[in-house]
Amino acid sequence: MSKILLPLLLIISIHPATLLFAQEEEGEILLESHPNDHDFYKFYIYDSVEYSQSTPYHALHTHLDFLDEQNYHPKTAARVIPTSVGNLDTRIELAEELKLIFAGKGIYLNQLDLPLQKDHVEKNTGKKRFIINEKLPEIYLIKVGERWRYSSYSALKINKIFKETFPPYSRDIIKFVSKIEKGNNYVLGLKVWQWGALLGISILMYIVYFVVIRLLAFFIKQFFSKEGNQYFISTLILKYKRPVTIAVLVFLFYILIPLLLLDSTIAFGLTVLCKVVFGFTVVVFIFRTADLLVLQVMTTGTKKKRWNIDAHLTPVLRSSLRIVALMIGFLFFLKILGYNINNIVTGISFGGLIIAFAAQDTVKNFIGSIMLFTDKPFSVGDSIVVKGQSGIVEEIGFRTTKIRTFNNSLVSLPNNIAADNEVDNMGKREFRRFNTLLSLEYGTDRKNLKLFIEEVRKAIDNHPTTRKEGYQVRLYQFAPSSIDILLNVFFETDDYNIELQSREELMFTIMEIADTSNVQFAFPTQTIHLNEKKE
């Protein structure tokens, strides 16, 4: 036993570091780290730097952190590429291309939720795999032994994705810039070539600004030239000019950010800022589109109104379209920022259902308002009869219709009732009918009776507002206490006041005719005969 223990004690005394370090591969030393009471992570020393691949978090940081200029160790960064893929130079090139792909796709470490579990398992597959970002489903980490690294499939896809991400004319520029980035002098936190690139981008954006404005005006004029409405065309250009140009410039700067090879924190902040500004311009664009749509619908053109919509519908239509535009714009804004809007849309739908149930009367009235404005069963100033209420329509609002009754009271009728019930619109009559009986006394001479009838007919023909055909003035019946003449005449007016005035004029004329024709109007009478009994 002593023969065995003595050599062991000798080895330990000569090489105490062997308790802390263990050789894994050529040129690589293994360290063991025990952070607090968590499971320890394994760290390795390679190319004189310490790195780890114990978790997806450590593997991705090993890849990207060691490609930064301040800590440039490409051999260590290439450790996350499978050794089966080419030689070391090939793996270094793939690691650098993948970093550029992340920048080109707007994927930064700051926005990634990287797991720190050594045995991380993908929920939907149950595999020890981690997809970096949904934008790149082909690039993912897998666990091989005790290390996380990119899969062989992902490594073989890097060059293809790099070519798809960057156009042919920009690939060489990107690679050239990534080489000159190292060792360049800093001025105010940026390198000289980055300031030069920013100056070039500024000049390019200045030129693009004027080009976009002129192209926008040209296409709008070409598209709407047939309308012949210069006011609408100029308003369209004015409303769209600023949001469209800002959106184009922001998008241009967004796609050029990867070319600047900025620090990941700065690049991430700029991309978020670009998304916020672009999303805001989208909201403004959609909001102004709603206003322009109302303007186009309601504007009177050179010949006639484009759409037959009542002017009272303008505020309802504008408010409705603005609300819809803001909702759509807000969803686009969240989508641009990278949020999953499916759950939001579901929540809005469910919330809208709850609101609809809670305020169903208000919703009914609002829908009733839309139906009244579109179907137009009556307009302001019409005399109507609906639900037992009759009077003149004074106002058609979002929720109620106000009717001034003939007793001068004001009735507020909910729009859903007005839309769902039968409406007798007296104001839509082309003619106003006057139907009555002219009762004359028994004993009136027949010649005078005929003369009276003829003179009444002449009076109707001579009156300025009566319809000259289709009227009746006829001996109608022998009533219990009078001889009745039917008078059925129509006034050509849609105004109730003019109708009353015409009736009055015609009735005064009939009274004058009665005097000149020597006829008397009868009133209900009874003749009582008393029989005397003889005693």
pLDDT tens digits along 202-217 = 898 889 988 988 888 8
**Choice among 128-132, 235-239, 295-299 with the minimum mean pLDDT:** 295-299
DSSP 32: E
Q: How far apart are CA 262 and CA 426, in angstroms?
A: 75
Domain boundaries of the chain, sorted by first residue: 36-181, 190-339, 375-428, 432-517
The pLDDT, as a whole number, for residue 503 is 92
Structure tokens that stand for 395 in this block: 């106002």
pLDDT digits (tens, 9 = 90+) for 351-409: 666 665 655 666 666 666 667 766 677 777 788 888 777 888 888 776 778 888 888 88
pLDDT digits (tens, 9 = 90+) for 296-326: 666 654 444 444 455 555 666 667 677 777 7
Closest of 364, 377, 367 to residue 310, by C-alpha: 377
The confidence band for 189, taking pLDDT boundaries of 50, 70 and 90, is low
The pLDDT, as a whole number, for residue 507 is 94
CATH class of the domain defined by 432-517:
alpha beta
Instruction: Write down the residue that tokens 């004058």 correspond to.
Output: 512
The confidence band for 418, taking pLDDT boundaries of 50, 70 and 90, is confident
* Long-range CB contact pairs, 510-516, < 8 A, 24+: 510/438, 510/456, 510/459, 513/452, 513/455, 513/456, 513/459, 514/452, 516/455
**Sign of the C-alpha dihedral computed for residues 78, 81, 83 and 86 taken in this order:** negative
Write the CA distances from 81 to 76, 88, 98, 128, 144, integer angstroms.
10, 9, 10, 17, 12
Instruction: Write down the residue that tokens 């700029």 correspond to.
Output: 270
pLDDT digits (tens, 9 = 90+) for 242-271: 888 998 998 888 877 777 767 767 777 888
- Written as one string, the DSSP assignment of 384-439 is EEETTEEEEEEEE-SSEEEEEETTS-EEEEEHHHHHHS-EEEGGG-SSEEEEEEEE
CA 171 to chain centre: 38
Fold exhibited by the domain 375-428: SH3 type barrels. (2.30.30)
* CB within 8 Å of 342: residues ≥ 6 apart: none
Q: How far apart are CA 104 and CA 261, in angstroms?
A: 10
- Characterize 397-406 residue by residue with b for buried, 16 or more Cβ atoms within 10 angstroms of its Cβ, and e for exposed: eeebbbbeee
Closest of 365, 361, 394, 362 to residue 378, by C-alpha: 394
Mean pLDDT of the chain: 78
Contact between residue 46 and residue 76 where contact means Cβ atoms under 8 Å apart:
yes
Question: Rounded mean pLDDT of 434-449?
Answer: 91
pLDDT at 2 over 60: no
| CA-based radius of gyration for the chain | 45
Q: How far apart are CA 479 and CA 185, in angstroms?
A: 118
More confident: 245 or 525? 245
More confident: 186 or 2? 186
Element containing residue 276 per DSSP (H, E): helix 264-298
pLDDT at 14 over 50: no
pLDDT at 240 over 80: yes
Structure tokens that stand for 199 in this block: 């100056």
Instruction: Write down the residue that tokens 């305020």 correspond to.
Output: 359
The confidence band for 22, taking pLDDT boundaries of 50, 70 and 90, is very low
